Structure 1
Amino acid sequence: MNNENKNPNVEEELKKQSQETAENEQTTSEASEAQENASSEEKELTAEEKLGKELEEAQKVIDEQKDKYLRLSAEFDNFRKRTLKEKAELIKNGGEKAINAILPILDDLERALQNMQKAEDVKAIYEGVELIYQKFLKNLHQEGLEKMEPVGEAFDTDFHEAVALVPAPSEEQKGKVLDCVQTGYKLNEKVIRHAKVVVAQ
């Protein structure tokens, strides 16, 4: 009789314990799910914050590059304007140095003209003009001007312009310049006027 009474009580206790265990397990699983959800939300917020920081840094770099570009653009614009101004001034006043070199010759020519009115010695006048001419050539030579001396040289279209062809006096003179009709000049090794010449053929 006692055994029969004890068994139902034990069964009831076991049922209660199993129900409590199941309830505890369910509560634990719910708590762990809630914790997982909370941690995933935290992770999502962290990712958003990270993305926000990256965007801020990118914007900062963009602003720095934009400022640098604007400064460079302004500097280049100033340089371009300054260069154009200097070029215009150079074109306008490019001959100033050469003119200054010629002015003393102009003074000499004025004095020579004044003396010619009084002078009777033609030879003295010639010598004076010859001196002025030589001085003029010297000043121009200092500016880079070089007078061509083509007579006796082989005809070269880079330096000479043939105005007449004449029979060669000898075989050795064929293709060479016999006479110069108009003097040619080079400025700093660049031909600025071809020499007009007579060529032997």
Structure 2
Amino acid sequence: MTNEAKTNQEETTQQDTQEEVVEEVFAEEVEEDTTTEGSTNELTAKLEESENKYLRLRADFDNYRRRVQLDEEANKKFRAQSLVTDLLTSLDNFERALQVETENEQTQSLLQGMEMVYRGIQDALKREGVEEIDAQGAAFDPHLHQAVMQESTPDAEPNTVTAVFQKGYKLHDRVIRPAMVKVNE
């Protein structure tokens, strides 16, 4: 073989080898691309899942914060409820004492002092949001009234309050004691 033939043969062998190397490298790159795409898809799915978990956790926390805030507002609004409930019995006793008829001047001045104290207590309760339930002549409402008697009176409308035995009270639209009433049938 001549030098030229040897050189041609070597060049052909080198070209074949280069083509094989290029094909192998290309095949490896294709494999790497598919594995990279697979891991990218997995990472994207994990990222989306983490984002969803974060959003749910954030929404839960916001709901919790709102609930706590509403509870705090309700506690502030109704903080005096137990005190008011305890005072209502004394307030009823004050009203009964003020209804006593007397002609004695000393007793009348004592009653005037009691009236001033009674009005002061009523004003303080109003400032706290306590309201008296107006029951006389009103339509019976089981949320506001407690029927303790019934009567049949042709003068009154059916299912209306004809007498109030004990006043009822509300604290910021929450009934703390229903009015004890007599209802027309």
Q: Shared topology, TM-score over 0.5? A: yes
Identity of aligned residues (%): 27
Establish whether residue 123 from structure 1 lines up as the match of residue 108 from structure 2. Answer: yes
Conservation of the 8 A alpha-carbon contact between 2:80 and 2:128:
no
Greater helix content: 1
TM-score by length of 2: 0.56
What is residue 138 of structure 1 aligned with on the other side? 123
Q: Distance in 1 between matches of 2:4 and 2:158?
A: 132
| CA RMSD across the alignment | 4.4
- Residue deviations 1:13-44 (CA, integer Å, cap 9, x gap): xxx67x954x4443222101221233345556
For these two proteins, the number of residue pairs brought into alignment is 145
Structure 1 letter corresponding to 2:181 = V
TM-score by length of 1: 0.53
Residue 137 of structure 1: how far off its partner (Å): 1.2
- Unaligned 5+ segments in structure 2 are 88-93, 95-104
Residue 46 of structure 1: how far off its partner (Å): 6.0
Establish whether residue 165 from structure 1 lines up as the match of residue 150 from structure 2. Answer: yes
- Residue deviations 1:167-198 (CA, integer Å, cap 9, x gap): 2052x443221111111111111222211101
- Unaligned 5+ segments in structure 1 are 1-15, 103-108, 110-119
| More deviation, 24-33/160-169 | 24-33
The aligned runs of 1:22-33 (5 Å cut-off) are 23-33=6-16
Q: Distance in 2 between matches of 1:194 and 1:175?
A: 17
Q: Distance in 1 between matches of 2:12 and 2:162?
A: 119
Q: Look at both structures and tell me which one has the larger radius of gyration over its CA atoms.
A: 1
Residue 47 of structure 1: how far off its partner (Å): 6.7
Residue 133 of structure 1: how far off its partner (Å): 1.1
- Residue deviations 1:53-74 (CA, integer Å, cap 9, x gap): x979x6xx97xx79xx7xx89x
Conservation of the 8 A alpha-carbon contact between 2:151 and 2:182:
yes
What SS does structure 2 have at the residue aligned with 1:164?
A: strand
* Equivalent residue for 1:147, pick from 126, 129, 132: 132
Q: Distance in 2 between matches of 1:177 and 1:188?
A: 23
Q: Distance in 1 between matches of 2:106 and 2:30?
A: 109
What SS does structure 1 have at the residue aligned with 2:147?
A: strand
Q: Tell which has more relative contact order, 1 or 2 (C-alpha 8 A, sep 6+).
A: 2
